[in-house]
A and B are shown apart, each in its own frame.
Chain A
Amino acid sequence: MTVPSTAAQTASSLAWARRRGSVARFWRAYRTHRAGLFGLGALAVIALVALAAPLLVGSDVQSVTNAPGAALESPSGAFPLGTDQFGRSLLGLLIWGARISLTVGLMAAALSVAIGTLVGILAGHFGGWFSTVTMRITDWFLVMPTLVLAIVLATVMSRSVWTVILAIGVTSWPTTARLVRAQTLAVESRPYIERATALGGGHGHIMSRHVLPNVMPLVLAQTTLGISNAILTEATLAFLGLGDPDVVSWGGMLQDAREAGAVSSGHWWYLAPPGIAIAVVALAFTLCGRAVESVLNPKLGVSAR
């Protein structure tokens, strides 16, 4: 009784040590990427601001009936970025909007990568006609115009944040699926998988214990890159009027600005900040993603050399 348990303990503690070691190694390598560090820093600041938004500005910032200013004021001491057409502080909205934009970006990318990983691993593991069929479907999704599909989905469903997340997630997974499938095939050709099968490891065991940990780095890189795409798509859908009208997001702010006629009436301070915010976050995620990618796969991440 005691022997196997200690063995298991050592095995698990070994695994832990190994993981810690690989994380440390990862970080050491990541640290050498200056752009990646810059991205990470920017993200940390923005995430902090988004998390602290209730303390910084309070949810009252969204209220139209208690709006403190007049409509479309230009920047001043009281309103560093001016006000929107309801007299709400644009700086407050920008900070509050970070929450939605980041949430949507993260969740949509997570959803997309989750679908992609699942499909990829299944197709890679089972092979045969199953793989052929899934990959046909994946290819078919690849030729679908993504934005068009997302617009259709957002039109079909009610206007809400979830709709946007779903529309982005459901349309952007095929790339991940293909990459994960290739990786799965590579992993499963290694001898230890054969050993594991011989030792009686079922499909579930192989996929979750051996394949998944090995495709995780790739998945991580894909997620990071996917987030910036998701944030841009969120902004696009909101701009086309397909966002949730009840919440403040950066894309929604741009749409509000346009509806108020900010472009032609010269209220650039209404239009510029949300766009810059979107660009900064998207850029930060891209930089992180590229850094992660080049750490994990030096051949791909030539940027580092």
Chain B
Amino acid sequence: MSTASSTPLVEGAPDGPVPVKTGPSGPRARSARAYLMYVAGKLGGAAVSLFAVLVTSFFLFRIIPGDPVRTMTHGRQVSAEQLASLRRQFGLDLPVWQQFTEYCAKALSGDLGTSYQFHAPVGELIAEKLPATLLLTGVAVVIYSMLGLWLGTRSAWRHGRLGDKVNTGVALTLWSVPSFWLGLLLIITFSVGIGPIPGMFPTGGMETGGETGFGYVADVAHHMVLPVVTLVAVGYAQTLLVMRASLLDEMGSDYLTTARAKGLRDDLVRRHHAVPNALLPTVTMVFINLGHVAAGSILVETVFSWPGLGGLFYQALSVPDLPLVQGLFVVFAGAMILMNLLADLLYPLLDPRVGR
């Protein structure tokens, strides 16, 4: 009975999974107000961060050496007037501070500018590619979080035994492998085929094209297998380790000993007491991983020719296609901020110890 949180857990409802246990209406009303304050604070912080990202993305990419107009016209006969008109068209003829204020004003109204090389609105280009990236990495994060949680729980419950050691060992090894390298090996093995292994999966891309309805879904799923396997293999170790560590932590707690001493079945204790509590740090991490979704897939998208944001970013950077890199950067960092915010907002709902 050492920690505040464990006390009500054991005394209040020995059978039910009750990590959240607050008193009657009085304290609740107060805690609701406290939560609102907390939410407001976090929202404010996120807004500040987002603005900081907007500002950074503007200045960060201006330090890239390279005049976009010159790069785009390199090797072509372009008159000075044409260059000037291109600069005008891109707004590069204005002083930097004016470019900046215009960029901010536009960005706040949701307009990220027009790509130099694709002659299309940045928002449109990103919207075109975003679903592919979200689909691939979203599925991967969900799978590896689940896998990590499951294996982490198993490992912790049997910690020290062979199963645990193998489990952690495999996870750590896969985690140490460069993802692009694993992807290439998977392509060689399962896409091209080695010896008796036939090439079962497409070598790249997201769809064959021409399929509709159900066939389309199946086709995309087929294309997704190898990239998802790559991302999962390299990514699940983190979830596993965090889950294992926090579960071990919980298992050392007094309340569990008490619960067991009271004669509760082991798996019930685990499922109803230890796991829910241990889940907290892991869930936070899952959100942070989701935040990495957008940026994290650059490598795998390159290896598997996945038509997502990663490839677009790389193309934009080499010009530099300023509006496009800026927009992508905002999306990448914005995803992180959003997910951190969600984690922050959910945390106190899941854990009574925080924010109340």
Contact indicator per residue, chain B 304-343, by CB within 8 Å of chain A (1) or not (0): 0000000001100110000000000100110011001000
- Whether, in the assembled complex, A59 has its beta carbon less than 8 Å from a beta carbon of chain B, the answer is no
Which single residue of chain B is at the shortest CB-CB distance from A302?
Answer: B248
- Is the Cβ of A147 less than 8 Å from the Cβ of B295? yes
State whether the Cβ of B184 lies closer than 8 Å to any Cβ in chain A. Answer: yes
Pairs across A and B, CB under 8 Å, 17 listed: A140-B49, A140-B52, A143-B291, A145-B296, A145-B329, A155-B318, A156-B65, A236-B299, A240-B314, A266-B188, A275-B178, A279-B173, A279-B178, A283-B176, A287-B172, A303-B244, A305-B160
Q: Tell me which of A155, A272, A280 contacts B185 (CB under 8 A).
A: A272
Contact with A282, one of B176, B194, B333, B340 (Cβ below 8 angstroms) = B176
Given A286-B176, A302-B245, do A144 and B333 touch, yes or no (CB 8 Å)? yes
CA of A304 to CA of B194, assembled, Å: 40
Q: Which of B49, B60, B159, B248 contacts A143 (CB 8 A)?
A: B49
Enumerate chain B interface residues (CB-CB to A < 8 A).
Answer: 49, 52-53, 56, 60-61, 63-65, 159-160, 168-169, 172-173, 175-178, 180-182, 184-185, 187-188, 192, 194, 244-245, 248-249, 291-292, 294-296, 298-299, 302, 313-314, 317-318, 329, 332-333, 336-337, 340
User: A151 at the A/B interface (Cβ < 8 Å)?
Assistant: yes
Residues in A whose Cβ lies below 8 Å from that of B187: 263
Closest chain A CB from B1 CB (angstroms): 19
In the A-B complex, the 6 residue pairs with the smallest Cβ-Cβ separation, listed nearest first, are A145-B295, A282-B176, A275-B181, A302-B248, A283-B176, A143-B336
CB closest residue in chain B, given A263 = B184
The CA of A206 and the CA of B79, in the complex, are separated in Å by 65
Whether B184 lies near A271 (C-beta < 8 A) is: yes
A300 on the interface (CB 8 Å rule)?
A: yes
Is A235's CB within 8 Å of the partner chain B? Answer: yes
Residues in A229-265 with C-beta less than 8 Å from chain B: 232, 235-236, 239-240, 251, 254, 258, 263-264
What is the bound-complex CA distance between A268 and B329, given in angstroms?
Answer: 36
A154 to chain B, nearest CB (A): 10
Q: B2 to chain A: closest CB distance in Å?
A: 14
Contact (A258, B184) CB under 8 Å given A151-B317, A286-B175:
yes
Q: Which chain B residues lie closer than 8 Å to A305 at the CB level?
A: 159-160, 248
Find out whether the CB atom of B185 lies under 8 angstroms from the CB atom of A275: yes
From A139, A156, A239, A263, contact of B178 by CB (8 A): A239
Q: Hey, which chain A residues are within 8 Å of B317, CB to CB?
A: 151-152, 155
Which residues on B sit within 8 Å (CB–CB) of A272? 185
A302 touches B178 (CB 8 A): no
Which of B63, B181, B337 makes the CB contact (< 8 A) with A278? Answer: B181
